[in-house]
């Protein structure tokens, strides 16, 4: 262990805790922990607090959206069922899709990033702690708006893709679609804020020595994803706001109305320009989990680190050039469609390279068949099917037959559940000890995995054939003579098994949190920096922020590797390093908790929701937002130039890297 001093606070009787270290620990803890009481809880800015809140909230959304899906499966279990009518069914699949895509998949991946990235790059918090707090409340507002709306019968009912003109003012009266568009706006504000945090933290706060080619693969995946979010999310905010202004009687634009020179296809382009990259925004972090878990349990550094990184980057670029494959059935020019067939096929290449590198890593390592690794192995078995049906969907001609059928439903669940949920559960089993200090139970874990594997395949595999037999998506019932009954029944049974497995996971979490095996700081013998501190990590993460000499510091760095000292103990200070080589550059004084973040979040949410109901929402809301921002950014003593000018002076590279006396 290169960092013997970073033992958990609970084990402070450990002899390595010298008196000086203990004193530093106490000072740092006082500086970095959040203020006591409800105020401190509400205004929390620590990336671990907020990261876990994102993960837990998103998981609750996952459960609720899963229940909605199960109700849909019950409705479709037998032909001509009357359990739910078309109105409720349309709401069910719209809320299911919206919740899973906007409010579960993206936030849970960002939550993982917000928790793990600062630990993996060896710093004490993300770059903009107050923005972090704000982004969580905006996200929470979005979740509440969607589900409270759904329970009050103003849940959206036009599909998560909300195609105009069906979602326009003429064919969807009421407030359902308006609220949906505000849900999207709020969710994207939150995602954008999270993405900014990750980009700046990765670029500017890495441990000294962690040059770009030493960044852990998971951190790369988060960085690439964050950039994708920054480029993709504005498109959906733009188009959903244009939909809002089309719909609101007091604004009444005609962007999507063909009768007034608007165009419904405009919506489809803008929406899919966001929504296809969205798939990669969900999938690329999952490849980060996979790379990490494969490295750890193959016991060797990943084969083709550079290839893996470049594949992610390539995927993210090509991912922006394939959106028209969602529109192959529209009357767009054939030549242009052919181009998108080519680009959609092309994206297979970087994804294939990732696969080959992971397999090569396994072949070159010693494999330890643990639970997280088993989740990744099931990913290989499942996602590959989704990837290959994806290749079929890339073909313009085949797509004309299977587009908008259950074949696509099967494909997208193979890709998203196989490609993101299975690795995510693997990641839960992998990092749970870091979050709680205790291992997740292995026995329940294997049962959880087995049930999920069986349940998933039983639910979604028959849907491939259903699609080929002509079953369209988004139908609330089907006729007896269609011949779809048996497969639908099997899918419903599978959904039950799937639900059971998620229930087992919950039970496992509840039991293990209390009485799981104690994990220690590095239960898996992994190589990245988050395992160099206690489990759970102290509020300040590292007693002495580490310096690294390789991409896998816990495996390859010699025990005498220096650590960073000299950062202030009495206020929140982190070391900022250069973007390429991570050379120490200067100290950065981080903001502390502030009530303004919560107030701003409340004002933002209230304004965005009331836009739907009153034309005065923006004229009143905007000045209020500016007011809160003014209070937030009003210079205080804390942020005034410090009296001691040395504080802000650039630190020469050698200064903070005094070798640790131990």
Partner 1 sequence: MIAAATARWATLADNDFGVTSGEWVRGTKSVLDPAGPQSGRIHQLFLDYFWLSVVVYVLVVLFVIFAVILRRRRARWTGPILAEPAPSREKLRGWLVGLATLATTIALFFLLAGDHAAGRAIRSLSTDNALKIRVTGHQWWWEFRFEDEAPSKIFTTANEIHIPVGRTIEVELHSPDVIHSFWVPNLHGKRDMIPGHPTRIAFRADKASEYWGQCAEFCGYEHAKMRFRVVAEPEEKFNAWKAAQLQSSVQPATDSQKKGQYVFLHTTCVMCHTIQGTTAGAMMGPDLTHLASRKTIAAGSLPNKRGHLAGWISNPQTIKPGVRMPANSLPPDQLQALLDYLEILK
**Nearest-5° Cα angle at 545, 542 to 549:** 130
| Of 520, 539, 540, residue with least CA distance to 531 | 520
For partner 1, the binding residue among 150, 289, 355, 431 (CB under 8 A) is: 355
Least Å from the CB of residue 217 to partner 1: 15
**Nearer Cβ to partner 1, position 38 or 369?**
369
Burial 415-437 (b: 16+ CB within 10 A, else e): bbbbbbbbbbbbbbbbbbbbbbb
The span from the CA of 426 to the CA of 432, in Å, is 10
Tokens matching residue 333: 């020019």
Burial (CB count within 10 angstroms: exposed 0-12, middle 13-18, buried 19+), residue 573: middle
The span from the CA of 384 to the CA of 311, in Å, is 17
The span from the CA of 628 to the CA of 225, in Å, is 31
For partner 1, the binding residue among 263, 450, 454, 571 (CB under 8 A) is: 263
Told to check if 174 binds partner 1 by CB under 8 A, we report: no
State which of positions 554-593 bind partner 1 (CB under 8 A).
555-556
Which residues have C-beta within 8 Å of that of residue 166, sequence separation ≥ 6?
158, 159, 172
Told to check if 342 binds partner 1 by CB under 8 A, we report: yes
Angle between helices 47-76 and 129-151 (to 10 degrees): 20
436, 535 Cβ separation under 8 angstroms: yes
State which of positions 71-100 bind partner 1 (CB under 8 A).
85-87, 90
> What is the 3-state secondary structure of 421-464?
HHHHHHHHHHHHHHHHCECCCHHHHHHHHHHHHHHHHHHHHHHH
Told to check if 481 binds partner 1 by CB under 8 A, we report: yes
**Nearer Cβ to partner 1, position 8 or 304?**
304
Told to check if 362 binds partner 1 by CB under 8 A, we report: yes
**Nearer Cβ to partner 1, position 475 or 655?**
475
The span from the CA of 220 to the CA of 223, in Å, is 5
Told to check if 329 binds partner 1 by CB under 8 A, we report: yes
**Nearer Cβ to partner 1, position 485 or 569?**
485
3-state secondary structure at position 575: strand
**Nearer Cβ to partner 1, position 264 or 520?**
264
State which of positions 582-641 bind partner 1 (CB under 8 A).
none
**Nearer Cβ to partner 1, position 479 or 613?**
479
651, 584 Cβ separation under 8 angstroms: yes
Phi, psi of 517 (to 5 degrees): -65, 140
Told to check if 478 binds partner 1 by CB under 8 A, we report: yes
| Site size with partner 1, rule: CB under 8 A | 90
Least Å from the CB of residue 105 to partner 1: 21
For partner 1, the binding residue among 380, 489, 588, 632 (CB under 8 A) is: 380
State which of positions 304-323 bind partner 1 (CB under 8 A).
304, 307
Told to check if 254 binds partner 1 by CB under 8 A, we report: no
Burial 36-50 (b: 16+ CB within 10 A, else e): eeeeeeebbbbbbbb
- Within 205-263, residue ranges assigned H as helices are 217-247
Told to check if 331 binds partner 1 by CB under 8 A, we report: yes
Least Å from the CB of residue 96 to partner 1: 14
State which of positions 382-441 bind partner 1 (CB under 8 A).
384-385, 388-389, 391-392, 394-405
For partner 1, the binding residue among 289, 303, 429, 432 (CB under 8 A) is: 303
**Nearer Cβ to partner 1, position 220 or 267?**
267
Told to check if 483 binds partner 1 by CB under 8 A, we report: yes
Told to check if 480 binds partner 1 by CB under 8 A, we report: yes
For partner 1, the binding residue among 24, 74, 78, 159 (CB under 8 A) is: 159
| Of 41, 12, 33, 52, residue with least CA distance to 432 | 52
Least Å from the CB of residue 385 to partner 1: 7
**Nearer Cβ to partner 1, position 38 or 335?**
335
Told to check if 289 binds partner 1 by CB under 8 A, we report: no
Stretch that binds partner 1, among 161-169, 235-243, 572-580, 591-599 (CB under 8 A): 161-169
Stretch that binds partner 1, among 23-31, 247-255, 326-334, 496-504 (CB under 8 A): 326-334
Told to check if 474 binds partner 1 by CB under 8 A, we report: yes
Least Å from the CB of residue 521 to partner 1: 16
Least Å from the CB of residue 264 to partner 1: 6
The span from the CA of 333 to the CA of 633, in Å, is 51
The span from the CA of 3 to the CA of 572, in Å, is 22
State which of positions 524-553 bind partner 1 (CB under 8 A).
525, 527
């Amino acid at each position: 262990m290169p960092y013997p001093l970073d033992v958990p606070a609970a084990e402070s009787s450990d002899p390595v805790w010298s008196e000086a270290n203990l004193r530093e620990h106490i000072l740092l803890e006082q500086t970095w922990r959040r203020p006591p009481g409800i105020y401190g809880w509400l205004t929390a800015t620590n990336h671990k607090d907020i990261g876990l809140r994102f993960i837990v909230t998103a998981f609750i959304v996952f459960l609720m959206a899963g229940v909605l899906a199960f109700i849909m499966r019950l409705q479709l279990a037998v032909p001509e069922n009357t359990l739910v009518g078309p109105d409720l069914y349309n709401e069910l699949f719209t809320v299911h899709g919206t919740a899973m895509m906007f409010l579960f998949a993206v936030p849970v991946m960002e939550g993982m990033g917000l928790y793990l990235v600062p630990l993996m790059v060896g710093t004490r918090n993300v770059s903009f702690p107050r923005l972090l707090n704000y982004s969580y409340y905006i996200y929470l507002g979005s979740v509440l708006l969607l589900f409270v709306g759904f329970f009050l019968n103003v849940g959206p009912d036009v599909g998560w893709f909300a195609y105009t003109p069906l979602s326009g003012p003429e064919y969807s009266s009421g407030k359902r679609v308006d609220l949906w568009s505000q849900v999207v706006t709020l969710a994207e504000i939150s995602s954008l804020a999270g993405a900014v945090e990750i980009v700046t933290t990765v670029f500017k706060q890495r441990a000294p020595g962690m040059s770009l080619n030493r960044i852990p693969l998971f951190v790369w995946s988060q960085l690439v994803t964050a950039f994708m979010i920054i480029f993709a999310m504005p498109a959906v905010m733009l188009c959903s706001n244009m939909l809002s202004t089309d719909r609101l009687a007091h604004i009444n634009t005609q962007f999507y109305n063909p009768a007034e020179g608007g165009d419904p296809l405009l919506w489809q382009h803008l929406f899919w320009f966001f929504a296809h990259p969205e798939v990669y925004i969900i999938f690329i972090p999952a490849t980060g989990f996979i790379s990490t878990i494969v490295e750890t349990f193959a016991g060797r550094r990943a084969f083709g680190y550079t290839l893996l990184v470049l594949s992610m980057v390539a995927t993210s670029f090509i991912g922006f050039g394939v959106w028209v494959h969602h529109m192959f059935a529209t009357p767009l020019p054939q030549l242009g469609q052919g181009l998108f067939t080519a680009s959609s096929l092309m994206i297979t290449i970087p994804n294939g390279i990732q696969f080959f590198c992971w397999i090569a890593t396994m072949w070159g390592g010693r494999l330890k068949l643990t639970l997280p690794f088993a989740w990744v192995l099931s990913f290989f078995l499942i996602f590959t099917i989704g990837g290959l049906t994806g290749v079929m969907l890339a073909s313009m001609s085949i797509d004309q037959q299977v587009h908008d059928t259950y074949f696509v439903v099967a494909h997208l669940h193979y890709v998203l559940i196989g490609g993101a949920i299975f690795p995510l559960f693997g990641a839960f089993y992998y990092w749970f000890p870091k979050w709680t200090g205790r291992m997740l139970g292995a026995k329940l874990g294997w049962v959880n995995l087995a049930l999920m594997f069986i349940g998933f395949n039983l639910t979604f595999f028959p849907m491939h054939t259903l699609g080929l037999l002509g079953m369209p998506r988004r139908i609330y019932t089907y006729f007896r003579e269609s011949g779809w009954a048996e497969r639908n029944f099997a899918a419903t049974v599978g959904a039950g098994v799937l639900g059971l497995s998620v229930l087992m996971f919950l039970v496992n979490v509840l039991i293990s949190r209390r009485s799981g095996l104690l994990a220690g700081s590095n239960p898996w013998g992994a190589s990245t920096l988050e395992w160099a501190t206690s489990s759970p990590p102290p509020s300040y993460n590292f007693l002495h922020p580490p310096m690294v000499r390789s991409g896998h510091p816990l495996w390859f760095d010699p025990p005498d590797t220096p650590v960073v000292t000299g950062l202030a103990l009495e206020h929140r200070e982190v070391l900022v390093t250069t973007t390429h080589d991570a050379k120490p550059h200067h100290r950065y004084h981080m903001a502390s908790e502030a009530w303004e973040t919560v107030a701003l979040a409340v004002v933002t949410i209230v304004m965005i929701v009331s836009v739907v109901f009153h034309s005065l929402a923006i004229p009143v809301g905007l000045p209020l937002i500016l007011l809160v921002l003014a209070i937030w950014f009003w210079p205080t003593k804390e942020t005034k130039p410090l009296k001691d000018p040395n504080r802000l002076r650039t630190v020469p590279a050698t200064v903070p890297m005094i070798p640790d006396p131990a």
